[in-house]
A and B are shown apart, each in its own frame.
Chain A
Amino acid sequence: VMLLGDSGVGKTCFLLQFKDGAFLSGTFIATVGIDFRNKVVVVDGVKVKLQIWDTAGQERFRSVTHAYYRDAQALLLLYDITSRMSFDNIRAWLTEIHEYAQKDVVIMLLGNKADVSSERAVRTEDGASLAREYGVPFMETSAKTGMNVELAFLAIAKELKQRAMQPLDEPHFQIHDYIESQKKKSSCCAFS
């Protein structure tokens, strides 16, 4: 699972929140030393090992190596709901994904920092409609409070497990439906 998105949208914190249940407070830490983390989650009684990779700061000047996209089975694409710019750049990231990632990569769009809704610059509807346009699931998250963080990874794990096991007769796991039924809405904004 690869994390992607502009510098400072909270990718590293998102990863650490999931891995360790902790939030790195303080100000901006540019990624140093976080390469990837492993975590095993249990999905429907089956253990799924997620290896989650961070960008190592190479996204800052849009210099992520192509190799980063190549082996990704899933990509979590993050923007910061308090930064319009980070949202607008999502299309550029999607173009890079389109160019370098594998064909069947699972993509999820996440609007992070939902806890600071007072400084919100991107409406939830905007995130949702962008996601709909690209046919990818979407939710707002908070690496600080942990809101929907676990869910994002669990949904990915479920989808990947489903693909690996490939029971042809079973009904397909619907990642969209699953997320819609599970996700918590950020307090101030009703989801349309």
Chain B
Amino acid sequence: MACVISGLPESIIAAACARSGQRVLHVDSRNYYGGNWASFSFSGLLSWIKENQQNTDLSDECEDWRKLILENEEAIPLSSKDKTIQHVEDFCFDDQDSAEGVEEAGALPKLPVFGAPAAKGVSVGSEESPAEEGVSPGSEESPAAEIPVPESADGTSPSTDSAESAPEPGTTEAAPSESAAQEPKKITYSQIVREGRRFNIDLVSKLLYSRGLLIDLLIKSNVSRYAEFKNATRVLAFREGKVEQVPCSRADVFNSRQLTMVEKRMLMKFLTFCLDYEQHPEEYQDYESSTFAQFLQTRKLTPSLQHFILHSIAMVSETESSTLEGLQATKKFLQCLGRYGNTPFLFPLYGQGEIPQCFCRLCAVFGGIYCLRHSVRCLVLDTASGRCKAIVDQFGQRISAKYFIVEDSYLSESTCTNVCYRQISRAVLITDQSVLNTDSEQQVSILTVPPLESGKAAVCVIELCSSTMTCMKDTYLVHLTCPSTKTAREDLEPVVQKLFNLNTEKETENEELEKPKVLWAVYFNMRDSSGVEKNSYAGLPSNVYVCSGPDPALGNDCAVKQAETIFREMFPTEEFCPPAPNPEDIIYDEDEVEPEESGLSNSAETKPESSAEESSSGADAAVTKEE
């Protein structure tokens, strides 16, 4: 089986196929995993932006591979240029020039240039810096004010890779660090560049429903051992120009200071009803043809409760969603509560981009072959049978396979002429404080901003703190997502302006000062190919399966469903992602399991399921990869 590009559904299919004994080749023309599901460091994102802003023409397209097509064959060319990303606009709200010449700090203290004299002494390495758990020495040492930019000679060759990045470390260390401690933390653009590796910025912004299909699959397949998760800690609402926390669990409701006793009782009563609304059809059947918003108005709920339920719990449209849709969504939300914590959502540490890589790892462990930076020119169709029999790669190699999985973005324009795509509007911001400050800085929040004008969609805002390992200390990473009506900036900037302070000048209104300041922002539109029927693609053989790119929904059910459907079509009798055996149980000769002392063994021998299932604290759930 051959798989082209490594987004989430493709990766799940690859893992499932390898797991059931198929030989899998997984190629991706990019040098990173995940396609449009990937996440990037700050510098990685900057190059991604650059790449997507350039309109490279394809005139130099070489068609040599056509010679390899035999007489009884036909070629279905694949597109070599990804056209799924449009309208990329990035903004920096700090002095960008000050960051010129600032290099991203790497893992090794010094990577000498080839042939350079050996570093001082033998022990430049790790010993000198005692283990500072998770603390970046860089951000501690550097003064909060401007960073002295070394006028370095290596700045002359910016194209060479990071191996050359060794501006004399003395410059920063020499700066007085004491004054920095007093001043309020102010992150500059140069610090963002230098600490760029601390960022893992997702192209898609999603959360995992704690009883969603992806969590179930991660647990079932044991892929959960490759990832760690953090609970979303808060569900927020935006009402009357203010951000408020939504009480959603029983404990939240009772502890809430914003609700009156009467409201608490109303809310609990309604939520309890939603949990088994199917048992009480008499409560809602008169409103089945109305919208959920209208139904809520009849339920003796105060306006603020209606707002919370509609926008933050059910997260459905005020004008379009029916009563049943709303009830279903509310029930789903409530059912996910309490499995891992006080909100229904989990977020993968290091970002959503980890998830496809986890499935790729499983595939590789079961023999899947992985090849990044490898593009495919065409599919080879056998005219007699009408089936696809091979692919031709960039080197003109033919690779035969029985089944082919291709992501939508790789299909050429001629294949997709009849396909009508929707778009997703995305924005990513780096900000200096949370949209709702509380005693804890480390919050993962989801906020739904209702449409600011009619005809627009609600905007989903996910704010990540640095402990999710997606941004540097003292910053927040804010993702905004909505189905597009215009360009991403036109769709999302009004919301950004409501929630954040975009002014670079010092003198701003008092009201603006309270809002988090945006340090850096990017907007882009991503093609939404979910929901495209296979028969809309012209001329695809039956053994070529198309996976869609990311969908705009908050959860990951769409990708998992698609992967399972395709897998079942290919191998109707095989089990989809059965649990991978414990690595210790895969035996070459014999294997003795040594008795574990409880003091040391955190959960290698405990099954991931149990740790995931039972952990209901606010801490990281589904822990794997023990050190």
- Using a CB–CB cutoff of 8 Å, the interface residues on chain A facing chain B are 16, 20, 22, 24, 30-40, 47-49, 51, 56-58, 60-63, 65-68, 70-71, 73, 91, 94-95, 97-107, 129, 132-137, 159-160, 163-164, 166, 172-176
Q: Mark interface residues in B96-130 (1 if CB within 8 Å of A CB, else 0).
A: 00000000011111111010101101111111011
Find the residue from A71, A129, A176 having the highest chain B CB count within 10 A: A71
A-B CB contact pairs (8 Å), 27 listed:
A32-B367, A34-B586, A35-B361, A35-B365, A40-B596, A49-B600, A51-B604, A58-B361, A58-B364, A58-B370, A63-B372, A67-B354, A67-B358, A67-B361, A94-B108, A95-B163, A99-B106, A99-B107, A107-B125, A107-B126, A133-B116, A134-B112, A135-B109, A136-B125, A166-B130, A166-B131, A175-B126
Could you tell me the distance in whole angstroms from the C-beta of A130 to the nearest C-beta in chain B? 10
Complex contact A70–B626 (CB within 8 A): no
Do the beta carbons of A129 and B118 come within 8 Å of each other? yes
A103 x B107 contact (CB < 8 A): yes
Contact B111 A94 (CB under 8 A): yes
Binds A, one of B53-61, B376-384, B587-595: B587-595
| Cβ of B371 under 8 Å from chain A | yes
Contacts of A62 in B (CB 8 A): 372-373
Q: Which residues of B contact A58 (CB under 8 A)?
A: 360-361, 364, 370
Would A37 and B350 be within 8 Å (CB), given that A61-B372, A135-B123 are in contact?
no
The one of B108, B132, B584, B627 that contacts A134, using a Cβ cutoff of 8 Å = B108
Q: State in angstroms the CA–CA spacing of A37 and B589 once bound together.
A: 14
> Quick check: A67 and B357 within 8 Å, CB to CB?
yes
Q: Give the Cβ gap from A1 to chain B, nearest Cβ, in Å.
A: 9
B456 at interface, CB cutoff 8 A: no
Task: List B residues at the A interface (Cβ < 8 Å).
Answer: 32-33, 105-112, 114, 116, 118-119, 121-127, 129-132, 136-137, 161-163, 197, 226-227, 350, 354, 357-358, 360-361, 364-367, 369-374, 580, 583-584, 586, 588-591, 594, 596-597, 599-601, 604, 625-627
A49 to B122, CA, bound (A): 28
Q: Known: A33-B366, A34-B365, A51-B604. Contact between A66 and B122, CB under 8 A?
A: no
Q: How far is the CA of A62 from the CA of B121 in the complex (A)?
A: 32
Contact of B122 among A24, A37, A106, A135 (CB under 8 A): A135
Whether A20 and B591, one on each chain, are in contact in the complex, defined by CB atoms closer than 8 angstroms, is yes
A residues in contact with B364, CB < 8 Å? 31, 56-58
A16 CA to B366 CA, complexed, in Å: 17
Q: Which residues of B contact A173 (CB under 8 A)?
A: 127
Q: Is the CB of A32 within 8 A of B118?
A: no
A97 and B371 contacting across the interface, CB-CB below 8 Å: no
CB-based nearest A residue for B586: A33
Q: Could you tell me if B125 and A20 are in contact, using CB atoms closer than 8 angstroms?
A: no
A172-B131 Cα distance, complex, nearest whole Å: 12
Sample of 9 further A-B pairs with CB below 8 A, known A37-B583, A60-B369, A67-B354: A33-B365, A67-B357, A98-B111, A99-B162, A129-B118, A133-B119, A135-B123, A172-B127, A173-B127
- Alpha-carbon separation in the docked complex, A134 to B163 (Å): 11
Which chain B residue shows the least CB distance to A1? Answer: B627
Chain B residue nearest to A35 in the complex (CB): B583
Complex alpha-carbon distance, A32 and B363, angstroms = 10
Question: Interface of chain B, helix or strand or loop or mixed?
Answer: loop
Q: Are B588 and A22 in contact (CB under 8 A)?
A: yes
List chain B residues, Cβ under 8 A from A166.
130-131
In the complex, the answer to whether B162 meets A104 with C-beta atoms within 8 Å is no
Is A104 a contact of B604 with CB atoms below 8 Å? no
Report the nearest A residue to B112, measured CB to CB. A133
Say which residue of B129, B371, B580, B601 sits within 8 Å of A103 (CB atoms): B129
Are the CB atoms of A51 and B626 closer together than 8 Å? yes
CB distance from A77 to the nearest CB of B (A): 12
Contact of B107 among A33, A40, A71, A102 (CB under 8 A): A102
Please tell me if the beta carbons of A105 and B163 are within 8 angstroms of each other in the complex: no
Given the known inter-chain contacts A57-B370, A67-B226, A134-B111, please indicate yes or no for A24 contacting B588, CB distance below 8 A.
yes
Q: Give complex CA distance A65, B38 in Å.
A: 11
In the A-B complex, the 4 residue pairs with the closest CB atoms: A135-B124, A163-B131, A56-B364, A98-B106
Docked CA distance A98–B109 (Å): 9
List the A residue with the shortest CB-CB distance to B161. Answer: A95
Is the CB–CB distance between B127 and A63 below 8 Å?
A: no
Q: Which of A20, A163, A174 contacts B130 (CB 8 A)?
A: A163
A107 to B110, CA, bound (A): 13
Query: Known interface pairs A51-B626, A57-B369. Does A22 touch B163 (Cβ–Cβ under 8 Å)?
Result: no
- CB of A72 to closest CB in B, whole Å: 9
B171 to chain A minimum Cβ distance, whole angstroms, is 18
Chain A residues with CB below 8 A from B371, complex form: 61, 63
Cross-chain contact of A38 among B130, B226, B366, B584 (Cβ < 8 A)? B584
Is there contact, CB below 8 Å, between B589 and A22?
yes
Query: B588 touching A70 by the CB < 8 A rule?
Result: no
Point out the residues of chain A lying under 8 angstroms from B124, CB to CB. 135
In the bound complex, residues from chain A placing their C-beta under 8 Å from that of B594 are: 39-40
B374 — nearest CB in chain A belongs to which residue? Answer: A61
The residue that A47 contacts in the complex, of B127, B584, B599, with Cβ under 8 A, is B599
Chain B residues in 8 Å Cβ range of A135: 109-110, 119, 121-125
| Contact (Cβ within 8 A) B601 A49 | yes
Docked-complex contact B123 and A104, CB < 8 angstroms = no
**Minimal Cβ-Cβ distance residue in A for B165:** A98
| Chain A residue at minimum C-beta to C-beta distance from B106 | A98
C-alpha gap A61/B29 in the complex (Å): 12
Q: How far is A16 from B132 in the complex, measured between Cα atoms in Å?
A: 32
Question: Is the beta-carbon distance between B600 and A47 smaller than 8 angstroms?
Answer: yes
Q: Output the least CB separation between B627 and chain A (Å).
A: 5
A160 CA to B586 CA, complexed, in Å = 27
Residues of chain A within 8 A (CB-CB) of B589 are: 20, 22
What's the nearest-Cβ distance from chain B to residue A120, in Å? 23
Chain A residue nearest to B43 in the complex (CB): A99
- Tell me the minimal C-beta distance from A139 to chain B in angstroms: 13
Q: A63-B371, A135-B110 are in contact. Are A98 and B118 (CB under 8 A)?
A: no
Q: How far is the CB of B469 from chain A (nearest CB, A)?
A: 8
Give Cα A67 to B132, complex, Å.
21
Question: CB-nearest residue of chain B relative to A64?
Answer: B370
Q: Which residues in A have their C-beta under 8 angstroms from that of B358?
A: 67
Residue among B109, B125, B358, B626 with max Cβ neighbours from chain A (10 Å): B125
